[in-house]
């Protein structure tokens, strides 16, 4: 399986760009997988999220190198560190975690977000009403890093934090936003796996890992 084929298996929950980057560290049947193992894999992942980028024109080429991969992995590590410290246990009270947040991770997040200078401009087109268009000084891969970092800040630094969850399915390292009171898992597949394990235990009396 080549990198572009492999990246199709990387989960995209689409709760947020930042959490989708965090979730490129994932598991398959209990085995840890690296979704960004090479520049080629990163390029494939960027193509998957590109329609959701608001500050990167579709016509702009994103050329990915080893240095870019290292920056994305570092940003992912920072996001996972902060999310792991702040994610609320799904106890129903919406309370955020109380573990200390790594200051170096916060500094890295802020540094990337600071690259992205955004504003709104008015665009005119013949035969239609004017429209507001998002503009940015950040460009290329650096602009994408900035947009992802800004998205993370919009979760960690606002009331959206109360919806941040670490999936409670055994062995699942993914994060998600609890956007519905009845949502318990990052993806339906995690819920299906846990329910199947519970049913098996009830039927057989055996203790098995969910």
pLDDT at 85: 94
CB 73 within 8 A of CB 36: yes
Question: Residue 19 falls within a domain, yes or no?
Answer: yes
- Enclosing domain of residue 49: 3-180
pLDDT of residue 200: 46
Rounded to 5°, angle at Cα 21 from 50 and 184: 110
- Given a cut of 50, the residues of the chain with pLDDT beneath it are 1, 4-5, 91-93, 200
Residue 207 falls inside a structural domain = no
Number of domains in the chain: 1
The residue behind tokens 């590109």 is: 50
Q: Give Cβ neighbours of residue 34 (< 8 Å, ≥ 6 apart).
A: 24, 25
193 part of a folded domain: no
pLDDT at 176: 95
Q: What is the pLDDT of residue 194?
A: 57
Residue 206 domain flag:
no
CATH number, residue 51: 1.10.3300
State how far the Cα of 55 lies from the Cα of 112, in Å rounded to an integer. 14
pLDDT digits (tens, 9 = 90+) for 67-102: 999 999 999 999 999 999 999 755 444 555 567 899
Asked if residue 172 is part of any domain, the answer here is yes
Token couple for 129: 């009403």
Tokens 């930042």 identify what position?
18
């Amino acid at each position: 399986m080549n990198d572009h084929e492999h990246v199709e298996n990387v989960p995209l929950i689409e709760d947020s760009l930042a959490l989708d980057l965090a979730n490129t560290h994932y598991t398959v049947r209990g085995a840890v997988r690296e979704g960004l193992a090479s520049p080629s894999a990163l390029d494939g992942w960027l193509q998957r999220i590109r329609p959701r980028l608001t500050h990167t024109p579709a016509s702009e080429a994103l050329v990915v190198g080893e240095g870019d991969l290292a920056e994305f992995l570092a940003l992912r590590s920072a996001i996972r560190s902060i999310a792991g410290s702040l994610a609320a246990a799904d106890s129903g009270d919406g309370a955020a975690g109380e573990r200390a947040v790594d200051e170096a991770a916060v500094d890295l997040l802020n540094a990337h977000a600071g690259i992205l200078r955004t504003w709104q401009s008015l665009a005119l087109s013949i035969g239609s009403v004017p429209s507001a268009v998002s503009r940015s000084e950040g460009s290329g891969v650096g602009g994408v890093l900035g947009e992802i970092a800004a998205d993370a800040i919009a979760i960690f630094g606002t009331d959206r934090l109360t919806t941040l969850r670490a999936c409670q399915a055994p062995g699942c390292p993914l994060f998600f936003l609890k956007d519905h009171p009845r949502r318990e898992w990052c993806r339906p597949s995690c819920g299906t796996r846990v329910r199947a394990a519970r049913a098996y235990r009830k039927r057989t009396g055996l203790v098995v890992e969910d």
